[in-house]
Structure 1
């Protein structure tokens, strides 16, 4: 049985959601961002308990097909941007389309209709959050960050960063304003 969960954005989320299922006596057979597979369905009572636990932790069970697909789009984007340490040289639309096996035009239209923001803008916001993370931890130079995230130049990255945050990357490093939680990026 597959359960779809909104707001799973990192490995820690996977751990927490997995623990919720285990505490209910239904250890996951498989778990990834936004999706949990169990050996058998939860009873209505256990499902209600799961829903309460997840809601208390900032997650949400998804039962609508379109909402599930939008959440999968988000998870593919987050994985693409936040969980690759090496540059991925592929077009975002091709990457999303290949992972979800659906036409990109349909996915883009559904995403915009549901989220009120285009996939492209969502990707930009996610990239900026990744830049903030990398700048905060001093892991890479701005040139390396630009290369890793697929920017054509440091100048383009800096311009986009300033447009979104109101700060240059250098100003951000000096001020270190709080980062936006990944499940709230682009909202």
Structure 2
């Protein structure tokens, strides 16, 4: 039995969801971002409601609507790509999502845009910029290394998208971090 869970976007989220299933004595065969595959073929209505309530108490939503499920799968795939994938993307985003979700990209894009008031491409850019902010805040990588890690063609391309999304340059973002740290207040 496959379940789709909204807001399950990081490793800590996966651990929280696994804990819920463990407490309910359910047996997940596989837990990945946004998705849980149970060994059980079906659940009683009572057990299903108990699981749903437990997930909601942690800020997760069990998706029962097909469109919401597809959107959650798209978001989980993009978060995984932007935040957790180290190697360069070998195909374009549409090819990656089409292969990953086993669906036609045009229909995925139509569903996503219609429900989210955002495009898949822009959501991907937003995720990459959030990852860039995270990496900049660590101060361990140069902007060039960050651009390479996030599959940008150049530092200029990353900087332009960063400024368009945040209103400031990556350098200004880094300076603001230094000015606003708690040990300097």
- Asked if Structure 1 and Structure 2 have the same fold, meaning a TM-score greater than 0.5 normalized by the shorter chain, the answer is yes
1:18-167 equivalent positions in 2, closer than 5 A: 18-40=18-40, 41-167=42-168
Structure 1 residue 174, shift from structure 2 partner: 2.0
> TM (normalized to structure 1)?
0.89
Q: 1:22-62, CA deviations, whole angstroms, 9 ceiling, x for partnerless residues?
A: 10111312111111122222321222222122112110000
Runs of at least 5 residues in structure 1 that lack an aligned partner in the other structure: 178-187
Structure 1 residue 152, shift from structure 2 partner: 1.8
| Distance (whole Å) between structure 2 residues aligned to residue 152 and residue 37 of structure 1 | 37
Structure 1 residue 136, shift from structure 2 partner: 1.0
Aligned to 1:183: none
| Distance (whole Å) between structure 2 residues aligned to residue 176 and residue 17 of structure 1 | 33
Conservation of the 8 A alpha-carbon contact between 1:18 and 1:27? no
Superposed structure 1 runs of 4+ greater than 4 Å apart: none
Alignment root-mean-square deviation, CA? 1.5
Equivalent residue of 1:29, what SS?
A: strand
| Distance (whole Å) between structure 1 residues aligned to residue 175 and residue 114 of structure 2 | 38
If asked which structure has higher relative contact order (CA below 8 Å, sep 6+), I would say: 1
How many corresponding residue pairs?
177
> TM (normalized to structure 2)?
0.90
| Distance (whole Å) between structure 2 residues aligned to residue 138 and residue 83 of structure 1 | 18
Runs of at least 5 residues in structure 2 that lack an aligned partner in the other structure: 179-185
